[in-house]
Amino acid sequence: MPTNLNFEMARSLVGFTVLLLFLSICESASFFQPISDSHRSAAVELFSPDHGSLKSLEETYEALRTFDVLGIEKKPDVTATACRLVSETVGSSSSTLKNVFYALKANSIVKCKINDKAYQGIITRLNAAVDGASSLPDFYYSVGGLVLVKGSKGDVHLADADGIFRSVKAFRQSDGRWRSSSSNPESSAFAAGIALETLAGVVSLASPELDQSLISTLNNDISKLFDSIEKYDDGALYFDDKLVDGHDHQGPLATTSSVVRGLTAFAAVTDERLNIPSNKILGLANFFLGIGVPGDAKDLFNQIDSLACLESNRVSIPLILSLPSTVLSVTKEDLLQVNVNTVLGSNAPPLTVKLVGVFTSGSKAASLVESQELVFDDGTGMYNLKNLPKSIDVGSYTFVFEIVLHELEHEKIYITGGQKKVPIFVSGLIKIENAEIAVLDSDLGSIETQKKLDLAGQNAVSLSANHLQKLRVSFKLTTPHGLAFKPHQALLKLRHESKVEHIFVVGNSGKQFEIVLNFLGLVEKFFYLSGRYDIELAVGDAVMENSLLLAIGHIELDLPEPPEKATRPPPQPVDPYSRYGPKAEITHIFRAPEKRPPKELSLAFLGLTFLPLLGFLIGLLLLGVNLKNFPSNAVPATFATLFHVSIGAVLSLYVLFWLKLDLFQTLKLLGFLGVILVLVGHRVLSHLASTSAKLKSA
Amino acid sequence: MGKLWLICIASISILLPFLCNAFSPETPTDRRVLVLLDDFAIMSSHSLYFNALKSRGFDLEFKLADDPKIALQRYGQYLYDALILFCPSVERFGGSIDVAAIVNFVDSGHDLIVAADVNASDLIREVGTECGVDFDEDPSAMVIDHIGYAVSGTEGDHTLIASDDFIKSDVILGGKKIEAPILFRGIGHAVSPANSLVLKVLSASPSAYSANPKSKLSTPPPLTGSAISLVSIVQARNNARLLITGSLSMFSNRFFRSGVQKAGSQIKHEKSGNEQFLTEISKWIFHERGHLKAVNVKHHRVGETDEPALYRINDELEYAVEIYEWSGTSWEPYVANDVQLQFYMMSPYVLKTLSSDKKGLYSTSFKVPDVYGVFQFKVEHQKLGYTSLSLSKQIPVRPYRHNEYERFIPAAYPYYGAAFSMMAGFFIFSFAHLYSK
């Protein structure tokens, strides 16, 4: 059956992890504190209408019950809302059985006014429901409802109690667990709790007494159920249903709570003493107390309600030994105080608390003190140990206490759980003396420089050494009782400028602590980094009240140059703040414009360029240039005019080219003008040539 | 027809849960978180933390870490947006989850919260290593601080630490200063100096060290002082966010509700800073803070509104981008004064801080450099705690066209003048030469 095996493995693994986790949660409190004010403030916070709870009757009942148990004054608005809900539910015939049940439960706390007629209606309804019930919850709600009605009216009884008892018992399984209905094959401890509570109701409602043999068989079932109880390492016991289908899985708290409710209800109605070892009851109480303050309204209700059931149960009432403080200071002469309460924090019966022994943690040596009784202080209600025994110095100890009840009768009612081991830290001021720091010469061990240190105040030693020398730091620690003290943390730290750190454990011989750093052997470890090293000394322990972390000063180290193959120092973390942040702005540097002469100069030279033209014109005038050769005939004159106009056009085209035209436009126009110019020019020039030839020949 | 619609809607609503993805600007809400536990008792002992998440709209699904049915993805689709590992002692995950699956989950942009504890399993340590942190290798080591411990009547071994060495970042820890120290009990880890993505959010004090409190210290502890990180975060390059801590109990109701007094300090705080610290940091982890998006990147020449295909050298241009930050419910304008724009070709030619109008719009104007080539507008915004913004847009820059140069240069007037005076002379000369007698 591989699947089965897997399942078994998973189960055991879950159990194991549950255990580990639970330990890690409440490791700090290896003894359990009774209910305290933190539960009260949590209850007020969790069960507030604006927190979203108190919507249904069930939640309203849970709130009322928790407030009731914790002794919190009910807020008027909660009571009013509850009463409104209760009367609505009770008065209406359409409300579900579950709601009627919780309405009656809430009513048993707030005591609303319900008229007789409504009660009669409910009794008939519930009786009918009992007769027609087919599943465990149906029986639970209807029988429970009748019990509650009996509580306030007093004249309710079941006619066929035997029959109902038998039909409820039909859901029983052989292992002590119960099924919730005949169609559901899964049996659970959760259902067992409900069944026990229902049967307790049946017993109390039976008008002729029930057959005792029926009840005593049930006693056996309860013992069987307790065989399946699970255990944490610290002594807490709980029930858990490991269902394959986590669908309606209730969780250990709800399951255990259900069993406790059923068990105490059943114990209350039966005359027989239930056959349950009383330390199991203590284990259950430890389970509920170990949870601390739940953050969920339902969990808080389950915890508080179960503890309330245990507080007044008929099997055995657990007494919880707790210490307000497990850290005692020798220097402040703290009192060792012990509290013994019931789970809800109320006073215990007369008893004596004995300190049986004190053992050093982790050693098997005999007790350090003789057995003695603690003195009861009426004012605080606590048991005090006046003075810590002389033999107890600073350190961590295990104190063993025992509760002895004064009256024999009480031993049957209460369970104290035998001897109780409590780890206790005794702290004190440690004397630090002879603190010195010195630089030694390697060969001779002679002291080159030596400085005294004041480890209680400020120090700013400045030393220098090379790799052939040694650094020695020494100090002496004594406890208030004058004994040697070995702190857990005695570390010397050298930190180079580049933040490379080196840590050394300072060893001791007796009271004297000393560390000698031989730099020759440490050169490689120091990565051949010369320069300034800050020296820090940390001495601390859990029981040392004056733990210190002290910057002693610095030492300037002169180490040889690193060889080529020397290891590089490891990279140091980069400061995250400097890694981000805006970068420096960059603006582009544009090319500088070409250097140009001033405009005036250019204009002056522009004027100069026209001077030759002017000279040319003057020269022409001086030469007496005329236009006598201009053709006189109309046709050649026209061509001559056209010729010069086109020359002028080409020249102005050049001006236009400069002003706006581009090369292609210019060339296009120039081609057109050129053709005209050539044709016209040819006619004019040939005419002029022929005229001059005639003149010559004439 | 009506039936068809109904089927359509039904099938969409069935498919919807399977379509969830990593945080994306389009669908930043409705996020499903898988919580893996060692034990269902954590549900009630840590319920304040879970309720804080639920009240912010997260859909938490609690499973045992060794539940054989758990899976992160189905048919290639991730079923969750984030994973919370509150199972420090699990040796092997159930179902199809293993370290590689978790790494893939993060690599595809999903968030992760890991809480280890004393005696953390190798598996959880391996997850830590994958995230870039190294837990102390000694399985029973704890962070001990004989100076910065939390004063308590019942805890004498100084492993309950009150730490207040936070990272200075409003985006990670919220704008409200955390007054009370954080209670921490668990193992320390070191952050690799080479890894720039991991940040120490909560560091131990200089007097802390990591060792087994029950055994004598004979060798120097591997982790000491403020190099010990108690809580670290990682923001991966794909903006997946991770939280790693060595304490599961710091999330517990007990620590949330507990008062705290740091040793040596007279101030007794009614409530530890754990709730505020872890709630604020979970807002960061789940992208309710510090997640930026940039939209509407625009650039154009001064005086124009259309985006040109290319710029000419020496053009004046304007650049604008809108940046918003996710607040958990809506995109709010991102206000900062260090968003920078680079005009980049091989190296930045222009790097300018954008000016903000405080409503999310960042803009600037500058002159295109007189170098032509293919440039990029780059906004590389990296800020502690914020997602990195990396925008880049390619744009070519051309030189002047031949007719875009200056046409009338005064310095050249003498040359023009000379040419034109010669032309005028030529014109007159043509008359004198042809018709003079």
pLDDT digits (tens, 9 = 90+) for A297-338: 888 889 999 998 888 887 788 888 888 888 888 887 778 888
Nearest-Cα distance to chain A for B102, in Å, is 21
Confidence label for B26 from pLDDT (cuts 50, 70 and 90): low
Q: Are residues A313 and A327 in the same domain?
A: no
Whether the CB of A688 is below 8 Å from some CB of chain B: the reply is yes
pLDDT tens track for A269-307: 877 777 788 788 888 888 888 877 777 788 888 999 999
Is pLDDT at A152 greater than 80 in this prediction? no
Is the separation of the CB atoms in A47 and A54 below 8 Å? yes
Is pLDDT at B378 greater than 70 in this prediction? yes
Whether the CB of A586 is below 8 Å from some CB of chain B: the reply is yes
For residue B350, give the nearest of A253, A588, A651 by CB distance: A588
Question: What's the token pair of residue A293?
Answer: 């303050």
- Measured at the alpha carbon of residue A329, what is the angle toward residues A326 and A330, in degrees to the nearest 5? 130
Question: Would you state the pLDDT for residue A389?
Answer: 77
Nearest-Cα distance to chain B for A493, in Å, is 10
Query: For residue B43, which residues of chain A lie inside 8 Å, CB to CB?
Result: 251, 296
Could A292 and B254 be called an inter-chain contact, meaning their C-beta atoms sit closer than 8 Å? yes
Question: Would you state the pLDDT for residue B437?
Answer: 75
Buried b (16+ CB within 10 A) or exposed e, A158-188: beebeebbebbbebbbeebbbbbeeeeeebb
Cα–chain center distance at A672: 93
pLDDT tens track for A345-372: 888 888 888 888 888 877 777 777 888 8
Question: Would you state the pLDDT for residue A31?
Answer: 61
Check which CATH number belongs to the domain holding A295 and give it: 1.50.10.20
Query: For residue A695, which residues of chain B lie inside 8 Å, CB to CB?
Result: none
pLDDT tens track for A163-189: 888 888 888 887 778 887 777 777 788
Pick among A494, A625, A644 to test the B interface (most B CBs inside 10 A): A625
Question: What Rg do the C-alpha atoms of chain A give, in angstroms?
Answer: 53
Check which CATH number belongs to the domain holding A542 and give it: 2.60.40
Q: Where are the beta strands (DSSP E) in A290-390?
A: 317-322, 327-329, 336-342, 351-360, 372-373, 375-377, 382-385
Task: Give helix then strand counts, H and E, for chain B.
Answer: 9, 26
- Reported ipTM: the value is 0.78
**DSSP class of A241:** -
Residue in B with minimal Cα distance to A686: B434
Could A503 and B221 be called an inter-chain contact, meaning their C-beta atoms sit closer than 8 Å? yes
Is the separation of the CB atoms in A436 and A414 below 8 Å? no
Question: Would you state the pLDDT for residue A278?
Answer: 79
pLDDT tens track for A639-663: 999 999 999 999 999 999 988 888 9
For residue B156, give the nearest of A25, A542, A587 by CB distance: A542
The answer to which of A213-227, A345-359, A415-429, B229-243 has the lowest mean pLDDT is: A213-227
Question: Would you state the pLDDT for residue A129?
Answer: 84
The answer to which of A1-15, A218-232, B333-347, B419-433 has the lowest mean pLDDT is: A1-15
Report the DSSP beta bridge partners of residue A475.
A513
Question: Would you state the pLDDT for residue B4?
Answer: 55
Q: Are residues A92 and A232 in the same domain?
A: yes
Distance CA A271, CA B19 (A): 62
Is the separation of the CB atoms in A471 and A452 below 8 Å? no
Check which CATH number belongs to the domain holding A376 and give it: 2.60.40.10
Residue A659 lies in a domain: yes
Is pLDDT at B388 greater than 60 in this prediction? yes
Q: How many CA atoms lie within 13 A of A463 on its CB side?
A: 30
Is pLDDT at B15 greater than 50 in this prediction? no
**Closest among B331, B306, B320, B300 to B361, alpha carbons compared:** B320
Could A613 and B425 be called an inter-chain contact, meaning their C-beta atoms sit closer than 8 Å? yes
The answer to which of A146-155, A676-685, B172-181, B248-257 has the lowest mean pLDDT is: A146-155
What are residue B412's phi and psi, to 5 degrees? -95, 0
Mean pLDDT of chain A: 82
Question: Would you state the pLDDT for residue B84?
Answer: 94
Confidence label for B83 from pLDDT (cuts 50, 70 and 90): very high
Q: Are residues A646 and A506 in the same domain?
A: no
Residue A611 lies in a domain: no
Domain boundary (A406, A427, A448) is at A427
Surface of A (217-236) touching B: CB under 8 A: none
Burial of A9: CB neighbours in 10 Å, binned 0-12, 13-18, 19+: exposed
Q: Are residues A350 and A407 in the same domain?
A: yes
Could A295 and B48 be called an inter-chain contact, meaning their C-beta atoms sit closer than 8 Å? yes
Where is mean pLDDT largest: A365-374, A669-678, B155-164? A669-678
pLDDT tens track for A23-39: 333 333 346 777 877 78
Structural domain total, chain A: 4
CB pairs under 8 A between A and B: 284
Q: Are residues A421 and A435 in the same domain?
A: no
Q: Are residues A183 and A313 in the same domain?
A: yes
Q: What is the average pLDDT across B28-40?
A: 81
Nearest-Cα distance to chain A for B153, in Å, is 4
For residue B146, give the nearest of A540, A583, A617 by CB distance: A540
Nearest-Cα distance to chain B for A271, in Å, is 36
Could B156 and A396 be called an inter-chain contact, meaning their C-beta atoms sit closer than 8 Å? yes
Question: Would you state the pLDDT for residue B135?
Answer: 92
Q: What is the average pLDDT across A462-476?
A: 88
Domain of residue A527 covers 431-569
Pairing of strands B59-64, B229-235: unpaired
CATH topology of domain B291-398: Immunoglobulin-like (2.60.40)
Q: Are residues A500 and A371 in the same domain?
A: no
Question: Would you state the pLDDT for residue B218?
Answer: 86
Could B421 and A22 be called an inter-chain contact, meaning their C-beta atoms sit closer than 8 Å? no
For A472, B146, B216, the CA distances from A539, given in Å and listed in that order, are: 16, 9, 14
Domain boundary (A569, A604, A621) is at A569
**Closest among B292, B318, B320 to B382, alpha carbons compared:** B292
Q: Are residues A40 and A165 in the same domain?
A: yes
**Closest among A514, A497, A474, A491 to A556, alpha carbons compared:** A497
Question: Would you state the pLDDT for residue B402?
Answer: 83
For residue A503, give the nearest of B160, B220, B411 by CB distance: B220
**Closest among B325, B257, B328, B258 to B295, alpha carbons compared:** B325
For A427, B18, B92, B93, the CA distances from B68, given in Å and listed in that order, are: 49, 20, 10, 8
Is pLDDT at A244 greater than 60 in this prediction? no
Question: What's the token pair of residue A209?
Answer: 């007494």
Whether the CB of A38 is below 8 Å from some CB of chain B: the reply is yes
Q: Are residues A464 and A364 in the same domain?
A: no
Q: What is the average pLDDT across B284-288?
A: 90
- The domain locations on chain B are 15-285, 291-398
Could B435 and A630 be called an inter-chain contact, meaning their C-beta atoms sit closer than 8 Å? yes
**DSSP class of B436:** -
Mean pLDDT of chain B: 88
One-letter amino acid at A59 equals E
Question: Would you state the pLDDT for residue A1?
Answer: 37
The answer to which of A258-272, B11-25, B80-94 has the lowest mean pLDDT is: B11-25
For residue B156, give the nearest of A425, A489, A655 by CB distance: A425
Q: What is the average pLDDT across B122-141?
A: 91
3-state class (DSSP) for residue A39: helix
For residue B224, give the nearest of A252, A503, A606 by CB distance: A503
3-state class (DSSP) for residue A386: coil
Question: Would you state the pLDDT for residue B354?
Answer: 92
Question: Would you state the pLDDT for residue B145?
Answer: 92
Only one residue has tokens 């009660």, namely A119
For residue B154, give the nearest of A21, A325, A572 by CB distance: A325
Question: Would you state the pLDDT for residue B37?
Answer: 92
Confidence label for B365 from pLDDT (cuts 50, 70 and 90): very high
Name the percent of chain A lying above pLDDT 70.
92
Question: Would you state the pLDDT for residue A243?
Answer: 60
Could A597 and B411 be called an inter-chain contact, meaning their C-beta atoms sit closer than 8 Å? yes
Is pLDDT at B174 greater than 90 in this prediction? no
Is the separation of the CB atoms in A533 and A494 below 8 Å? yes
Question: Would you state the pLDDT for residue A238?
Answer: 87
Could A582 and B87 be called an inter-chain contact, meaning their C-beta atoms sit closer than 8 Å? no
Query: For residue A605, which residues of chain B lie inside 8 Å, CB to CB?
Result: 413-414, 417
**Closest among B168, B164, B111 to B288, alpha carbons compared:** B111
Pick among A233, A588, A683 to test the B interface (most B CBs inside 10 A): A588
Where is mean pLDDT largest: A157-166, A273-282, B129-138? B129-138
Only one residue has tokens 């050539």, namely A678
Question: What's the token pair of residue B87?
Answer: 């199972």
3-state class (DSSP) for residue B367: strand
For residue A253, give the nearest of B44, B68, B94 by CB distance: B44
Q: Are residues A266 and A344 in the same domain?
A: no
Query: For residue B90, which residues of chain A lie inside 8 Å, CB to CB?
Result: 17
Query: For residue B206, which residues of chain A lie inside 8 Å, CB to CB?
Result: 536, 549
Whether CATH 3.30.70 fits B15-285: no
Could A630 and B436 be called an inter-chain contact, meaning their C-beta atoms sit closer than 8 Å? no
One-letter amino acid at A56 equals S
Name the percent of chain A lying above pLDDT 90.
13
Residue A619 lies in a domain: no
Residue A584 lies in a domain: no
Residue A537 lies in a domain: yes
Question: Would you state the pLDDT for residue A14?
Answer: 43
Q: How much is the pTM? A: 0.80
The answer to which of A72-76, A327-331, A489-493 has the lowest mean pLDDT is: A72-76
Surface of A (401-440) touching B: CB under 8 A: 423-425, 427
